Amino acid sequence: MKKIILIIYFFWFSNLFGLEVKLEKIVEGMNKPWSLSFINDTSIIYTEKKGKLFHLDLKNQIISEIKHNLSVLEDGQGGLLDVLYDNKNVYVSYSEKRKGRKTSTSVAKGEFDKNSIKFNNIFRAEPAIDSGYHFGSRLVKKDDHLYISAGERGQGMIAQDFTKHPGSIIRINLDGSIPKDNPKFKNKKKWLPEIFQIGVRNPQGMSLSPFDNKIYMTNHGAKGGDWFGTVNYAENYGWKILGWGGTNYTGTKIGPKWKPGFTKAIKYWVPSIAVSAMAIYQGDAFKEWNGDALITSLKDQSLRKIKFKDNEFISEQIIFKGNIGRIRDIKIHKDTGELYMLSDYGELWKMYK
């Protein structure tokens, strides 16, 4: 077992954004952490991109590695990515080593054990692709279904190909079987049976709202065109027909920000802030935020609060910027409402008033 390096810093700041919050560094020394999930009030499971899985006991200040059988290939943005604990089961998304350098955004499920978890794949994005880009890879449970964001792996128009998984939102049952009311069985006969929505680029944030029971997500644009929006049945966000306000990295145009026939996002960012994880806030620590979206970013290193209603953007507030580095994940403690965030610096932070 590995003991937590517990170095705590308290600082108040109201800085340029006019809001006082407390940040407390809980852990440092992690190696490229990507995602965390609460097991209970004082226990967390988290991933490191290089392929390791850990249990963190906040009360006793102990970190222990959980052995697993996943075939993870860390390549560029790929590795061991999202983790979701639910009802004694653990779901993980990862870049699975397939053949040679080819990988897929894959999802596996296993029964939780603090020492070792045997995982079985319940989804593989096909085809496997030789690319280290755009795995997407967030997981959300809604009712008896698992939603998976599968990035387009840098392949552009593959996101418009409904016979391939990359560039889409996937919906499966918790055992990996396919829901009989997915789009293929209703009004999209040519779609792969696991596909719920198409036309996304690299959605690295996804969260279920306890207020309206909708799933919301964040998506990386190219050079500009990050957005925050909803997961919608059988719809199309338009990548790479649409550019969402961004351009190719070469400076060439992609397409319009939006046009009729495609899903319209709630909020766009041009230039990009490199949106990452997100959550719809519910809790007592920041009661005035209930129902708002909390959006984290990598390049911009900020935490932003989006107020919206009925899919219409109302306002945006920067909570802080540059204080803890590139923010990879954000989760809400269900009892206290405090926010827990993972930084690319290898740190776990807690935010409260």
Phi-psi region of 185 (alpha: psi -120 to 50; beta: other; left: phi over 0): alpha
Residue with structure tokens 């405090």?
Answer: 338
Mean pLDDT of 30-57: 97
Tell me the residue range of the domain where 70 lies: 2-352
What the block records as the tokens of 224 is 């500009």
Q: What is the pLDDT of residues 241-275, one digit of tens each?
A: 999 999 999 999 999 999 999 999 999 999 999 99
pLDDT given at position 257: 96
What average pLDDT does the structure give for the chain?
94
Q: What is the CATH number of the domain that holds 239?
A: 2.120.10.30
Per-residue pLDDT at 21: 87
Give the global pTM: 0.95
Other CB atoms within a 10 A radius of the CB of residue 112 amount to 15
User: Could you give the CA distance from residue 152 to residue 149 in angstroms, rounded to a whole number?
Assistant: 10
Which among 124, 123, 133 has a CA at the least distance from the CA of 155?
133
pLDDT digits (tens, 9 = 90+) for 140-181: 999 999 999 999 999 999 999 999 999 999 999 999 999 999
CB atoms within 10 A of CB 315: 10
- Please enumerate in sequence order all residues whose Cβ is within 8 A of that of 325, keeping only pairs 6 or more positions apart, or say none: 301, 343, 344, 345, 347
Q: What percent of the chain has pLDDT over 70?
A: 95
Reply yes or no on whether the pLDDT at 16 is more than 70: no
Q: Tell me: pLDDT of 116 over 50.
A: yes
Cα(190)–Cα(187) distance, integer angstroms: 9
For residues 280 and 16, the model is more confident at 280
Mean pLDDT to the nearest integer, 192-201 = 98
Is residue 6's pLDDT more than 60?
no
Owner of token pair 């077992």: 1
Res. 2: pLDDT tops 60: no
24, containing H or E segment: strand 21-27
| Residue found under tokens 């249990």 | 55
Rg (CA), the chain: 19
Q: What is the pLDDT of residue 148?
A: 98
Amino acid found at 170: I
Band of the pLDDT at 61, cuts 50, 70, 90? Answer: confident
Is residue 20 very low, low, confident or very high in pLDDT (cuts 50, 70, 90)?
Answer: confident
Cβ contact 126:165 at 8 Å: yes
- Average pLDDT of 189-212? 98
Q: What is the mean pLDDT of residues 225-247?
A: 98
Number of folded domains that form the chain: 1
